Amino acid sequence: MKKLFLLLLLVFTLFANERDVIQAQILEKIFQNIEMHREIVLWSDNKNLLQEFEKSRRFRITDDCHQATLLVVQEKKNLLKETCKKAVFVLDYALLQEIPESFGSMFWKKGRPNVVLIESRTKQQNIKITEELKMYVEEKIW
């Protein structure tokens, strides 16, 4: 019984790690296809995601949200009020309504990744979206 439990725990851990890797790859693709008129420096409250970004070395990352130009937020409680003037990308669709500074979201629904970019918010923050991401642009939050 212990062996079965350990095997299940190992499989679950591997799946969780794989999900972080996939999420980081999707986010990297999104961030490569936006233009913010300045270097993208990433901060996230999800430390596993930061580690994946650090491995790829495609973006500069920081542990200090004040130095970041793009905040990737998983939980609203981790977003400081003074950093809300920065571009925010959320990892939960409900946070799009809760955080008006957020311009997009990547979330899981029925085991599949979903991406939404809000057109009015990208324009408001002077974020340009490439043609590759146009299919994910929505006029408003559902």
> How far is residue 61's CA from residue 70's CA, in Å, rounded to a whole number?
10
Indicate the CATH number of 2-138 among 3.40.800, 2.60.120, 3.40.50, 3.40.1710.
Answer: 3.40.50
Q: Which amino acid is at 34?
A: I
Predicted local confidence at residue 9, as pLDDT: 41
> How far is residue 138's CA from residue 104's CA, in Å, rounded to a whole number?
9
108-136: average pLDDT:
93
Q: Domain segments of the chain: what residues? A: 2-138
CB of 32 closer than 8 Å to CB of 133 = no
> How far is residue 136's CA from residue 66's CA, in Å, rounded to a whole number?
28
Predicted confidence band at 4 (pLDDT cuts at 50, 70, 90)?
very low
Give SS3 for 108: strand
pLDDT in tens, 28-73: 999 999 998 888 999 999 999 889 888 878 889 998 888 899 999 9
> How far is residue 8's CA from residue 49's CA, in Å, rounded to a whole number?
23
10-22: average pLDDT:
63
76 pLDDT more than 70: yes
131 pLDDT more than 90: yes
1 pLDDT more than 80: no
Which residues does 121 contact at the CB level (< 8 Å), separation at least 6?
Answer: 100, 101, 102, 103, 104
Predicted local confidence at residue 17, as pLDDT: 63
Predicted local confidence at residue 65, as pLDDT: 85
